[in-house]
């Protein structure tokens, strides 16, 4: 029979083990404007961690493969990411002891297109750090700015990557100044490029003073060999290009733009690396920076204000629900970010939103479309729960004591359309598909008694979300659908007392969203201003905007 001292010792050992495992985790998202190279960088990181043997993106669009993180047919056809995917792999930095197991990287690739901002926002609730990818030629772009503001609002530290340095672009100091001027973030380059944009030869390591020279591989499909050269030899080898990099480094140091860990974690500065994801230049340096600098998972506050530390009993937040990833099984996968404790496959946990138990028999780690059963996982890990029909983004799972984390807000939709099945005989499949896509958060689904269930109204941040709905309706459920745009541009939250009067207003239609929220759709801002002026007692509350 165990004594109380034995139990206490066992509990302390478990907590130490959980703390050790959590400290190994680095969970981050890649954010950027479309076509800045997010999916290509995801592939390159996996390649350097030796998770894959050849990058999916190869040089030249004519021979381009789809990346492993893009699995939807629409993504492959258009060469963009329209859903977030989670990749997990282990990385052992050079010189580290492989017996310690290395760092566990949880990388969440996000949609770059502005139409899918809501999906990206959900991902940013589940990560501890962000990698902001900037095109060397284009600099800061609108979607990057929006997502950076989300990171700042949530206190997420940012590492900046200037990508595509193998192509013509702007100067390092020009890009640095733009970031300072436009978003108030001070870049502190860890490395500076040797060679102008378009003539990428290697990197000056500002901390060691060494030169890292890269050698191109065929199509950038394999890891680029690196050669370390001392400063004197680098000067002889690269001449004026080396001198220019050294002078720029000295200038940055004089201006106080050397890395400071406290200022980075406080969101005041951003370590910067110049890279080419397509050629696999600077990719290992990013991985090393993530391991050395990015924060490990930490505790999270529940809606009642209590803090759940990483060593406390198991808890997790569902941030993404996705179906159709495996066409052979047509299952539904809920991505959860583990916040605290140790997860063991098969454990029965509590679902905070319903109060019901939830069995975790089928749990997997995900690498693009490929999956592996996971038996244990720790804070920071992203685990997929299969056939999680009861779960939705923002839900909390836990083991006692109870905890519930704040919900993930829905964005204010700006585009509205009626969805109908082309064939009345497909109504049953239509309803099932609509319920599934609604629960995944692909779009917001609005209903009222006048239109009925056969003609739900879809509300979206961007019109491309409607394309995803119709494409998945056809490929996953065999239902051909038609979309008809509605003449509304604004949505406001209202209440039951105001709904009846608002429904009588010209240019207004009232609906109920699946979560129970009552929304008034208004034709334009001028109509809204008129109603607010004439009927100030009616409830018309703004929703969360995509740029908030």
Instruction: Could you list the residues known to form a binding site, using ranges.
Output: 109-113
Task: Kindly state the tokens that stand for 220.
Answer: 């950038």
CB neighbours of residue 475 within 10 Å: 14
| Cβ neighbours of residue 22 closer than 8 Å, sequence gap 6 or more | 296, 297, 310, 311, 378, 379, 380
Contacts 24+ apart (CB under 8 A), 445-454: 445/513, 445/514, 446/416, 446/511, 446/512, 446/513, 446/519, 446/521, 447/511, 447/512, 448/509, 448/510, 448/511, 448/512, 451/418, 454/420, 454/421, 454/427, 454/430
User: What is the rounded distance in angstroms from the CA atom of residue 361 to the CA atom of residue 359?
Assistant: 6
Task: Kindly state the tokens that stand for 451.
Answer: 């239109």
Annotated binding site for GTP: 109-113
Task: Kindly state the tokens that stand for 184.
Answer: 């108030």
Q: Are 324 and 330 in contact (CB under 8 A)?
A: yes
Backbone angles phi, psi at 67, to 5 degrees: -75, 160
End-to-end CA distance of the chain: 57
Query: For strand 508-513 and strand 518-522, is the pairing parallel, antiparallel, or unpaired?
Result: antiparallel
User: What is the rounded distance in angstroms from the CA atom of residue 373 to the CA atom of residue 385?
Assistant: 10
Task: Kindly state the tokens that stand for 508.
Answer: 């207004």
Task: Kindly state the tokens that stand for 199.
Answer: 């003539």
Question: Longest C-alpha distance within the chain, in Å?
Answer: 80
- The H-assigned helical ranges of 255-406 are 261-265, 283-293
User: What is the rounded distance in angstroms from the CA atom of residue 296 to the CA atom of residue 285?
Assistant: 18
The β-bridge partners of 396 are: 317
- The H-assigned helical ranges of 199-276 are 231-238, 240-254, 261-265
Q: What is the DSSP string of 466-533?
A: HHHHHHHHHHHH---EEEEE-S--EEEEE-HHHHHHHHTSTTEEEEEETTS-EEEEES-HHHHHHHHH
Report CA Rg, the chain: 25
User: What is the rounded distance in angstroms from the CA atom of residue 313 to the CA atom of residue 382?
Assistant: 17
State which H helix or E strand residue 367 sits in.
Answer: strand 363-367
Q: Are 392 and 323 in contact (CB under 8 A)?
A: no
């Amino acid at each position: 029979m165990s004594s109380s001292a034995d139990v206490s010792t066992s509990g302390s050992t478990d907590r130490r083990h959980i703390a050790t495992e959590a400290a190994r985790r680095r969970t981050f998202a890649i954010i950027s404007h479309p076509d800045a190279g997010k999916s290509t960088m995801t592939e390159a990181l996996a390649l350097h961690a030796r998770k894959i043997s050849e990058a999916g993106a190869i040089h030249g669009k004519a021979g381009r493969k789809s990346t492993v993180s893009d699995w939807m047919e629409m993504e492959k056809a258009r060469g963009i990411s329209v859903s977030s995917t989670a990749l997990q792999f282990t990385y052992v930095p050079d010189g580290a002891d492989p017996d310690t197991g290395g760092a566990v990287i949880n990388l969440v690739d996000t949609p770059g297109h502005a139409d899918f901002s809501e999906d990206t926002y959900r991902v940013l609730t589940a990560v501890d750090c962000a990698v902001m990818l900037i095109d060397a030629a284009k600099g800061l772009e609108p979607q990057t700015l929006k997502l950076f503001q989300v990171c700042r609002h949530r206190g997420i530290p940012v590492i900046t990557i200037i990508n595509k340095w193998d192509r013509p672009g702007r100067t390092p100091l020009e890009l640095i100044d733009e970031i300072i001027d436009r978003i108030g973030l001070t870049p502190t380059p860890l490395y500076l490029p040797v060679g102008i944009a378009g003539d990428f030869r290697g990197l000056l390591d500002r901390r060691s003073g060494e030169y890292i020279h890269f050698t191109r591989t065929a199509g950038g499909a394999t890891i680029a060999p690196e050669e370390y050269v001392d400063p004197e030899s680098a000067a002889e080898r690269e001449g004026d290009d080396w001198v220019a990099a050294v002078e720029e480094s000295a200038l940055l140091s004089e201006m106080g733009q050397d890395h400071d860990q406290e200022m980075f974690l406080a969101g005041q500065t951003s370590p910067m690396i110049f890279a080419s994801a397509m050629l696999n230049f600077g990719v290992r340096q990013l991985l090393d920076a993530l391991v050395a600098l990015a924060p490990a998972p930490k505790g999270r506050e529940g809606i009642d204000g209590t803090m759940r530390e990483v060593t406390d009993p198991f808890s997790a937040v569902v941030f993404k629900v996705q179906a159709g990833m495996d066409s052979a099984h047509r299952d539904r996968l809920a991505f959860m970010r583990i916040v605290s404790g140790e997860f063991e496959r098969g454990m029965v946990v509590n679902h905070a939103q319903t109060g019901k138990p939830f069995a975790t028999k089928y749990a997997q780690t995900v690498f693009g479309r490929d999956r592996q059963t996971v038996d244990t996982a720790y804070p920071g890990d992203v685990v997929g729960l299969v056939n999680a029909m009861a779960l939705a983004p923002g839900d909390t799972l836990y083991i006692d004591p109870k905890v519930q984390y704040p919900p993930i807000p829905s964005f204010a939709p700006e585009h509205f359309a009626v969805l109908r099945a082309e064939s009345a005989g497909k109504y049953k499949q239509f309803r099932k598909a609509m319920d599934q896509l609604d629960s995944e958060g692909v779009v917001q689904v609005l209903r009222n008694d006048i239109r009925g269930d056969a003609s739900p109204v879809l509300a979206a941040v961007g019109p491309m979300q409607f394309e995803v709905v119709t494409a998945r309706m056809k490929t996953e459920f065999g239902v051909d659908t038609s979309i008809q745009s509605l003449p509304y541009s604004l949505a406001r939250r209202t209440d039951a007392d105001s709904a009846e009067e608002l429904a009588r207003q010209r240019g207004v239609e009232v609906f109920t969203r699946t979560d129970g929220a009552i929304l008034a759709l208004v034709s334009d801002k001028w109509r809204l201003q008129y109603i607010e002026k004439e009927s100030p007692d009616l409830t018309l509350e703004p929703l969360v905007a995509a740029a908030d």
